[in-house]
Amino acid sequence: MRILLLSVLYAFMQAFAAAGGISMVLTPGKTGKKRTFLLVLLGIGICNTVSVLIPYFWWKPFAGYALIFLWICYWYDNGWRETLLYFTLLYGITIPVEGISIVVLGKDAISAEPLDEQMLIPRVVVSVLLIFVQTGWMYLIRHLRESWSESILNKFYAFLLSQFVLDLLALQAVGMNYMQKAADGRKIIFDGNTFFVYRMGMVIFIVITILVYYLIFHYMKKEYLKEQIQKRENEMTEDMKYYRSVEEKSMHMRKVRHDIGNHLQMVESLMEEDPEKAQEYLAELKRIVERM
């Protein structure tokens, strides 16, 4: 009973991080914001609890992610594409964070195995870390979404989706390679030397991940600056067209005023010499103005 309660607590701490992160970028759908958050939290928490309690099987992480994704899609009316992208963003950062926790805390932090009392403290530490990392990560993405264009965001999302899938498959391959049949069910079992190699592999994976994120953010920043420069150039072109149009209108008005001045001088001259011709001249001017 105690381990069940601890498992539920741990699972819902992870669910809180995921529900909070996804709620920062997706708008509420079928219900209000608070109720949607609570329902998403409940669904993810149940999935996480079941995942924590059952033994390790190769399909467990895929089934868990699929159920959580479908649950989020059901409660948020954002379309499956946008939801998939932000779901990938959320869980794409989870794998490197869990990798860091395995390097620092050891084998007890591996989330693929059922929880026992020995693993409780490392798992709780990972859950607390995820709450801050996932929420901060999604806050950053929400800020970037407001400033980056759709084309830049699509490139960024494509990279993250591929990174998430590759990371998941790589970790799954490691899990299946070291999964053994133990007395209490399937477990991931490492000896000391093997885990040292695994830990070094995780360090390399984390360093590469950080490097790739740095490069992709640097590339996206260049793309953003390029778009801003192009936008300014387009605005300057439009401004030049506008000023040119204003200048042409101003020149036209000066020409009209000059012509009107000449016509008035002609009318004054005719009024003195021949008033009848002046009337005819004025009538002709009136016809010209009406035709314009």
Is pLDDT above 60 for 180? no
Between β-strands 179-182 and 185-188, what pairing exists: parallel, antiparallel or unpaired? antiparallel
Give the per-residue pLDDT at 223: 79
Last-in-domain residue among 172, 189, 206: 189
Q: pLDDT confidence of 116, banded at 50, 70, 90?
A: low
Residue 211's alpha-carbon distances to 89, 105, 216, 286, in angstroms, are 17, 23, 9, 78
| Mean pLDDT, range 129-153, rounded to an integer | 79
Is 208 within the bounds of a domain? Answer: no
- Three-class SS state of 110: coil
Domain-embedded: residue 284: yes
Of the two residues 66 and 177, the one the predictor is more confident about is 66
Tally the domains of the chain: 2
Domain that holds residue 137: 2-189
Within this chain, do residues 37 and 128 fall inside the same structural domain, yes or no?
yes
Find, among 67, 114, 97, 118, the residue nearest to 171 by Cα.
Answer: 97
Domain termination residue (choose one: 146, 163, 189): 189
pLDDT tens digit sequence for 245-275: 888 888 878 887 777 777 777 777 777 777 7
Each residue's pLDDT tens digit, 47-94? 888 877 776 666 777 788 889 899 998 888 888 878 888 888 888 777
Q: Is residue 223 part of a domain?
A: no
pLDDT of residue 166: 77
Of 3-7, 168-172, 226-230, which has the strongest mean pLDDT? 226-230
CA-nearest of 152, 62, 58, 134 to 97 is 134
My answer on whether 82 and 176 are in the same domain is: yes
Same-domain pairing of 75 and 148:
yes
H or E element in which residue 186 lies: strand 185-188
Residue 65 domain-assigned (yes or no): yes
The mean pLDDT of 213-231, rounded to a whole number, is 81
- Residue 234, in any domain of the structure: no
Cβ neighbours of residue 155 closer than 8 Å, sequence gap 6 or more: 220, 223
pLDDT 10s digits, 267-285: 777 777 777 777 777 777 7
Confidence of residue 186 (pLDDT cuts 50, 70, 90): low
User: Residue 221 falls within a domain, yes or no?
Assistant: no
DSSP label of 29: -
